[in-house]
Structure 1
């Protein structure tokens, strides 16, 4: 069944998020007000690996959930910027490592029932160390962690960030299987 929109009203808007109230007709239910979040910029993530079967992760605090956890590098795509270029920039700023090769992993809608938020995930390899991260606000630690330990961290609940879990899971499952 397809919902039909009869209009949209902006409730709040910023450079980071817009909150809309849509007047929608849901078959079998009728017309209702439905909140919709739109993001002015697309998001990118990357699973960064090396030749030693390790992943580059950030240990960071998220104030919204008041939680600490491991995450993959991620960030916004600036207007007119290609997502692959955005993740190259983000990896370098957040970790101090410059990717040599960046390949698409997958793209997905993070909250399809509520938001247009779109993520593009990449696999970055052949990294060269440049020095400490230039964006010191992103992470308390940046570490290369063995893939086996990353799996254990995820199983222990130390990777709770949705985009990180999605990118890592896709890389470890679908991506690796498709390359065999």
Structure 2
């Protein structure tokens, strides 16, 4: 795989923000030529697939400015600097939905857009929920929904659910449900 590696020659930091940083890297390609890569640096994130005692999936509906529309997602959020993903998942679940959990199971981690970003999302699942109180960030506004797996699948089909982490989580539940038949 060494024959595929691009060696970084120079990095130019363009922007440092609250959520992302942007840099442009000059790289040497495997064939010896040079090119530039625009890279979004992200601290990583967590996403949680919460399932109620009744088997409903807890989702959040929120406006996403980057998309210019409202979409439905599983609860998720950015890792704070040095924060353990498991602690972040517990925090985000409670902040966004008001639910606490005594048990979070790690499913997997995946990159969201590896062509230009290094964001890594850690996905967890829980079916041990205890209702509490939401504690959203000051700039966060959302609705909480509880839907069946079939309703969630329909939301993927009609693109009410329109992001990869949520679609993946629903696919995971469908595969798990199919295996237990």
Instruction: Normalising by structure 2, report the TM-score.
Output: 0.88
Partner residue of 1:124?
126
Which of 143, 146, 159 is the aligned partner of 2:145? 143
Residues in 1 aligned to 2:98 and 2:77: alpha-carbon distance in whole angstroms: 15
Q: CA deviation at 1:27?
A: 3.0
Partner residue of 1:3?
6
- 1:1-180 matches, within 5 Å, as 1-28=4-31, 30-39=33-42, 41-131=43-133, 133-135=134-136, 137-173=139-175
Q: How big is each residue's C-alpha offset from its partner over 1:148-171, in whole Å with a ceiling of 9 and x where there is no partner?
A: 111111111110123222333234
Q: CA deviation at 1:29?
A: 7.5
Q: CA deviation at 1:140?
A: 3.5
Cα pair distance change 1:105/1:14, threshold 3 Å: same
Runs of 4+ in 1 over 4 A off after TM superposition: 175-180
CA contact (8 A) 1:97 1:129 kept: yes
Deviates further, 76-85 or 52-61: 76-85
Structure 1 unaligned runs (5+)? none
Q: CA deviation at 1:100?
A: 2.2
CA contact (8 A) 1:24 1:32 kept: yes
CA contact (8 A) 1:69 1:160 kept: yes
Structure 2 unaligned runs (5+)? none
CA contact (8 A) 2:149 2:170 kept: no
Q: How big is each residue's C-alpha offset from its partner over 1:79-135, in whole Å with a ceiling of 9 and x where there is no partner?
A: 23211111111111111111221010110111112111111000022111113x221
Cα pair distance change 1:139/1:154, threshold 3 Å: farther
CA contact (8 A) 2:13 2:23 kept: yes
Instruction: Normalising by structure 1, report the TM-score.
Output: 0.88
Q: How big is each residue's C-alpha offset from its partner over 1:8-32, in whole Å with a ceiling of 9 and x where there is no partner?
A: 1111112311111111122348201
Cα pair distance change 1:179/1:7, threshold 3 Å: farther
